[in-house]
Structure 1
C-alpha cells in the first residue's frame, strides 16, 4: 500500500520542480523530502527520478504515478467537502490569496459578513499577485484566490481550477484634481492647493486653458468621474509623467499596449505595485495614470477620472480547486465576497455588465 504523504510529495515535486521548493512550501527540510521520495522509489520498485545536468526530472513512470497521486488527493478533498456538507454549521479554515486592490476594497467587508453569519469559520488572507495566487491554489497552498485579468490578456487556464466571475471593474485615466493647462510657461510640477474658502479655485491665477481636452476637463468637477462627453484620448497626455505598475505585470503590459496603440510611449517616471501610491502621486499633481474603480473601496474618488476609449474593464474572479469548490466554507466565502463586491463601487462608478453603481444586475 502506497503512503499518501509520499504521494503528495511526488505531486508537489511535479508542481514545483525542485526538492528545495517542495521543502519550502511544506515546511520540511530538503533532506527529509529527499528521504521520503527515495522511500517511495523503493516502495514502487522503479526509478522515479533521473539526473539531467544539475536538476532532477521525473521519469515516465513517475509521471504516471503523479496522475494517480493527484486523483487520490482530489478524492480526499471531495471526501472532506462531503463531510463538511453533512454539518449544520459552516466552520473550518479558508485560506485566501488576494491582489492588493481587492484586499482593500472587497475582503474587509466580506470578513464582516462572515463573522456575523458564520462565527465558527476562520479566514486567513494573504496578499499575492494573481499569477502567484493561481499557482499556489493549484498547489494546495491556498483554498481560494481572488485574481484579475485585463482586456485582451486572458490568464492561463488551470484544468484543476474553476473560475467564478466576481465583478467587471472599469479602468479610467486618472488625473490630478486641478490639472493646469499645457503650453509655454505652464507649471509642470505639483498642483497648488486650493485657497482656503475658495474650493475648486487655485491659490494663484492659473494660465488660460488652451482649447482641447484639458480645457474641457477643467470645466468638470474638481474630483470624481468626468462625464462621458469629456472623454479624452490618451495621446493628449503623452507628455505628462506617468505612474504604472512594475514591468512584467499584466496591468503594466496592458497599459503599455494601450498607450502605444494611441501613438506614444508613456514617460514612466514612477513604478510601483502599490495603487495607494499611484493615487497619492496623481492627487499631488506629479503624475497621471490608469486606475481601476475597485481601488476606491466604495469611497468617493480623490482624483479626476476620465473614461478611456472603448470603456475598457478588467475582470475580477475567484478560483478554487474543483474538488474543494463545493465545500460549504468555500461557498460561504464566495457568497460574502460577491456581496462585498456589489457594494464596493462608489455611486456612478459601477462597472457595466456585472455591477452598476454598486447594485447587482439581475
Structure 2
C-alpha cells in the first residue's frame, strides 16, 4: 500500500527535479527525502528514479506513478474536505425509518430543528411498522429506526442495536360521538367486551388481543387497517371502535369521533433504535438528540 506522505514527496521531487529542491519546498532535510523515496520504492518493488547528472530521471515505473500521483493527492484532499464537513456537521446523510404516527409527529418537528441549525445534513425518511423497521436497521437499509413496543408482549432487540427510549404513548379508546360511553372521562376495557373492533397493524392487533384476553374476553374484530385516517372514518360511521395511541389523536381529529383513556391506563413505549457502533457518527447522534428533545416536549402522550 502507498503512504500518502510518500506520494506527496514523490510528486514534489518530480515537480522540482531534485531531492534537494523538494526538501526546500517541503521543509524537510535532503536525507529525509531520500529515505521516503527509498521506502516508496520498496513498497512498489522497483526503482522510480535514475540519476542523470544532478537531476533525477523517472524510470518506466516512475512515469506510471507520476501520471497518477496528482490525481491521488487531489482525491485525498477532496476526501479530507468531505470528512471535515461530516464531522463538523456541515454535511452528512441520515436515513430514518419510522412508523406512520411518528412520521407525522415526532419526525417533522425534529427535522425542522435539525434543518434550522444544520441545513447541510440530508435526512431521508422511510416508513415501516415494527418489527420490519428493526429488520431494516440490522440489514443496513436505514440508520435510525423509530418503533414501539407494548409491555405485555416480549420483544427481543439484537445485541448490536441500542434502544433509546423517547416517550410513553398512552392508549386511547376511539368512539363515535354518539356512543353511550363517550360521556365518561375514562373507560374500562371490560365495558367494551360486546363491541365491534377495528384493529391496526400486526403489533397493535396483537396487543389488543393480549389486553382483552387479560380482561377475560376476545374482541370481535371486524376491520383491520394500519391507516389511521381509515380507522377514524370507520369509527365515525359507527362501524366499530378502536384502541389508538395518543400520537395518532394529536394529528388526526375527526369531528364525529372522541377519544377516552383506558382505566387503568395502558401505554406503549416509543423508542429510537440505532446500531451501537453508529452512535459515534456525528449526524446520527445529532438526529437522535433532536428526536429526544421533541419527545420530551410532547404533551398528552
Q: Given the two structures, how large is their TM-score scaled by the length of structure 2?
A: 0.67
* Cα distance change, pair 239–117 in 1 and its aligned pair in 2 (3 A): same
Deviation at 1:167, TM superposition (A): 0.8
Is 1:292 the equivalent of 2:245? yes
CA–CA distance in 2 between the matches of 1:124 and 1:312?
A: 32
Instruction: Please say if 1:337 is aligned against 2:296.
Output: no
SS of aligned partner of 2:161: coil
The corresponding residue for 1:122 is 122
Separation (CA, whole Å) in 2 of partners of 1:314 and 1:164:
14
Q: 1:90 to 1:312 in 2, by over 3 A?
A: farther
How far residue 307 of structure 1 moved from its aligned partner, in angstroms, is 2.4
CA contact (8 A) 1:298 1:344 kept: no
* Structure 1 vs Structure 2 CA RMSD: 2.4
Equivalent pair of 1:84/1:328 in contact (CA under 8 Å):
no
Deviation at 1:316, TM superposition (A): 0.5
Aligned residues: 220
Counterpart in the other structure of 1:324: 278
In structure 2, runs of 5+ residues without a counterpart are 2-79
Higher strand share: 2
Call closer, same or farther: CA 1:282–1:299 in 2, change over 3 Å: closer
Secondary structure of the 1:102 match is helix
> 1:197-276 to 2 correspondence within 5 Å?
214=181, 217-218=182-183, 226=185, 231-246=186-201, 249-276=202-229
Contact 1:104 1:297 in 2 (8 A): no
Contact 2:199 2:224 in 1 (8 A): yes
Provide the rounded CA distance (Å) in 2 between the counterparts of 1:297 and 1:236: 25
Query: Counterparts of 1:84 and 1:270 in 2: how far apart (Å)?
Result: 53
- Alpha-carbon separation, structure 2, partners of 1:330 and 1:287: 41
> Where does the alignment leave 5 or more consecutive residues of structure 1 unmatched?
2-79, 182-213, 221-225, 351-362
Question: Which structure shows the bigger proportion of residues in helix conformation?
Answer: 2
**Any idea what the Cα deviations from partners look like across 1:127-180, whole Å, max 9, x if unmatched?**
01221111111121111100110122242111111010111101122211221x
